[in-house]
Amino acid sequence: RRFLQFVGRATLVSIFGGGAAFYFFTQVDRNPGEQLPFDPEKKTVVVLGSGWGSTSLLKTLDTADYNVVVISPKNYFLFTPLLPSVAVGTLNPRSIIQPTRYITRHKARTVSVIEAEATDVDAKNKTVTFIDNSEIKGTTSSTTIKYDYLVYGVGAEVQTFNIPGVQQNAVFMKELHDAERMQRAFMDCLETAAFPGQPTEEVDRLLHMVVVGGGPTGIELSGELHDFLQDDLKSWYPELAGKVKITLVEALPSVLPMFSKQLISYTESTFKESKIDILTKTMVKEVKERSVVLQMPDKSIQEVPCGLVVWAAGNKGRKITQDLMNKFPETQTNRRGITVDDHLRMKGAEDSIFALGDCTATSYAPTAQVASQQGAYLGRVLAQIARKDGLEAELKKLEAVKAQVGASQPEEDKQKLEKDIEGIKRKIANFKPRPFDYSHQGTLAYIGSDKAIADLPFMNGNIASGGVATFLFWRSAYLSTLFSLRNRTLVGTDWLKVKLFGRDVSRE
């Protein structure tokens, strides 16, 4: 009887607990309280970009301290680590994005989110010019605003090295539309290969997928492509199963140079089992409509027919970044990106521009992990700066009072005023924000066949691990890194749907 009573109570508690949690998420989360309005007395922080760095900053920043304006051509945050899963239809595109307004509406003060592309930063006059480059234009599509502090987080763009045909004939793996485009092109290759009477040679060409770049993007994408072929092609296109070929082309002697030798060999042997060909020391020289031109290790040139080329050969700085750097010819000389000091202040514009993430040239790798830690750090630094600005304003007021003090004022009051002024001056002098300190949490990569590799820094050494357990760790790590409960739910549901029903092979 006691046991039944316990079960009854536990059930009631779970029902009420679940109900309360549901109420909290639907009412409190969906209807946050009123926000403070813009305050002309406060300084303005303009944030460029809505990627890893800028979004992490927005989450940390106390907007009660500032007026905040976010400018980005995408009005959402994209969870890039799961982008290859979208490209093969494992995940729905909407599951890995989060509207920026979803974050800003929970902030203390109203944040202005503007969907636009910044085209110029005038560091002297502290202004940003931006344009509306969306399809629908109003009567105004370009404007300039002032900032007190600029957080520059525009990321990077795809590096094509001006190799002929890349821009026209390859698909990229950087933005959401790239993954969607790849999925459409990939499905088109399958459907065209399945067209009745297609000659065998043409079927082989259409079903040859070439991935360029053996960095983590190229590896993860090849792994995801293999999963699709393994899990779904056999059931949906039995006549094509076994005919699809994946080739990964890498210019360097090995793939994944950032991982340990052991994990590189693990990846290579997994790819071998998965029948993914890795061509190292091989450079893509041209991408044609129906083929790819390769320079082989012996320097000979080979033209290989293929249906799809995915370009994952790295990134370079954006034009706006280069233009901004050109304004500081003496301090901004690193071709990889913006040089910042150890407080993320742009060299040459230390008083007002902070830069973070892939647009900077630092000793860290251009990763989401670095960008998000930098964003959180900047959020804290800006809070300290706001406190310092507040103290300076208070000091100004007290010094004005001191200037008015007459001889008739009691000595005691004068001494107190002097003491207050000295106290504030001391606090201002003590204002020394700590430099940015990156804490590496490890590197994970999915390699297909429900396997992942991980370089984890524990106990002063790297723990290198690969396999199914690592895959489960990879999934749970990414699930917990997703920025919101909404995204976690959507991604979790997509994984479950694929397990139950397979991937959706319809082509938009």
Closest-by-Cβ residue to ligand FAD is: 51
> Which residue of 171, 283, 308, 320 would you call a contact of ligand NAI, by CB under 6 A?
283
Q: How far is the CB of 10 from ligand FAD (least distance, A)?
A: 39
Closest-by-Cβ residue to ligand NAI is: 215
Size of the site for ligand NAI (CB under 6 A): 27
Site string for ligand NAI, 104-123 (x = CB under 6 A): --------------------
Copy the structure tokens of residue 25.
């998420």
Beta carbon nearer to ligand FAD, 88 or 206: 88
Sole window of 25-33, 101-109, 209-217, 388-396 interacting with ligand NAI (rule: CB under 6 A): 209-217
Are the beta carbons of 151 and 345 closer than 8 angstroms? no
| Residue 337: count of CB within 10 angstroms of its CB | 23
Sole window of 1-9, 135-143, 359-367, 456-464 interacting with ligand FAD (rule: CB under 6 A): 359-367
Could you tell me the end-to-end alpha-carbon distance of the chain, in angstroms, rounded to an integer?
Answer: 59
- What CA–CA distance (Å, rounded) separates 368 from 483? 13
Residue 338 is given by DSSP the state B
- Pairing mode, strands 127-131 and 171-172: unpaired
Q: For helices 368-404 and 411-429, give the axis angle rounded to 10 degrees.
A: 160
- What are the beta bridge partners of residue 340? 346
Q: Using CB distances below 5 to 8 A depending on partner kind, what does residue 83 bind out of ligand NAI, ligand FAD, none?
A: ligand FAD
Q: Please give the torsion angle defined by the CA atoms of residues 401, 406, 408 and 413, in that order, rounded to the nearest 10 degrees.
A: 30
Q: Using CB distances below 5 to 8 A depending on partner kind, what does residue 361 bind out of ligand NAI, ligand FAD, none?
A: none
Residue 312 near ligand NAI by CB under 6 A: yes
> Which residue of 151, 212, 310, 325 would you call a contact of ligand NAI, by CB under 6 A?
212
Q: How far is the CB of 305 from ligand FAD (least distance, A)?
A: 26
Residue 220 near ligand NAI by CB under 6 A: yes
> Which residue of 337, 366, 448, 466 would you call a contact of ligand FAD, by CB under 6 A?
366
> Which residue of 44, 95, 169, 217 would you call a contact of ligand FAD, by CB under 6 A?
217
Q: How far is the CB of 116 from ligand NAI (least distance, A)?
A: 26
Residue 153 near ligand FAD by CB under 6 A: yes
Residue 454 near ligand FAD by CB under 6 A: no
> Which residue of 48, 88, 276, 454 would you call a contact of ligand FAD, by CB under 6 A?
48
- What are the beta bridge partners of residue 152? 48, 355
- Pairing mode, strands 67-72 and 111-115: parallel
Beta carbon nearer to ligand NAI, 140 or 480: 480
| DSSP per-residue string spanning 69-96 | EEEESSSEEE-GGGHHHHHTTSS-GGGG
Copy the structure tokens of residue 240.
């094509």
Copy the structure tokens of residue 401.
């009072």
Residue 251 near ligand NAI by CB under 6 A: yes
Residue 313 near ligand NAI by CB under 6 A: yes
Residue 249 near ligand NAI by CB under 6 A: yes
The CA-CA-CA angle for residues 329, 332, 337, to 5°, reads 135
Q: How far is the CB of 321 from ligand FAD (least distance, A)?
A: 9
Beta carbon nearer to ligand FAD, 442 or 502: 442
> Which residue of 13, 21, 301, 365 would you call a contact of ligand NAI, by CB under 6 A?
365
CA 392 to chain CA centroid, nearest Å: 36
Residue 337 near ligand FAD by CB under 6 A: no
Going by C-alpha positions, the residue among 424, 354, 367 that lies closest to residue 392 is: 424
Residue 176 near ligand FAD by CB under 6 A: no
Beta carbon nearer to ligand NAI, 245 or 440: 440
Residue 225 near ligand NAI by CB under 6 A: no
> For the CA atoms of the chain, what is the radius of gyration?
27
Are the beta carbons of 290 and 202 closer than 8 angstroms? no
| DSSP per-residue string spanning 425-491 | HHHHHT--PPPP------EEEEEETTEEEEEEEETTEEEEEEEHHHHHHHHHHHHHHSS-HHHHHHH
Considering only residues 450 to 479 of the shown chain, the ones binding ligand NAI according to CB under 6 A are: none
| Residue 479: count of CB within 10 angstroms of its CB | 15
What 450-456 contacts at long range (C-beta under 8 Å, 24+ apart), as own/partner pairs, is 450/227, 451/223, 451/270, 453/256, 453/259, 453/263, 453/266, 453/267, 454/263, 455/258, 455/259, 455/260, 455/263
**Residues engaged in binding ligand NAI (CB under 6 A):** 81, 163, 212-218, 220, 249-252, 258, 283-284, 312-315, 365-367, 443-445
**Residues engaged in binding ligand FAD (CB under 6 A):** 48-54, 71-74, 80-81, 83-84, 117-118, 153-155, 173-174, 217, 318, 320, 357-359, 366-369, 371
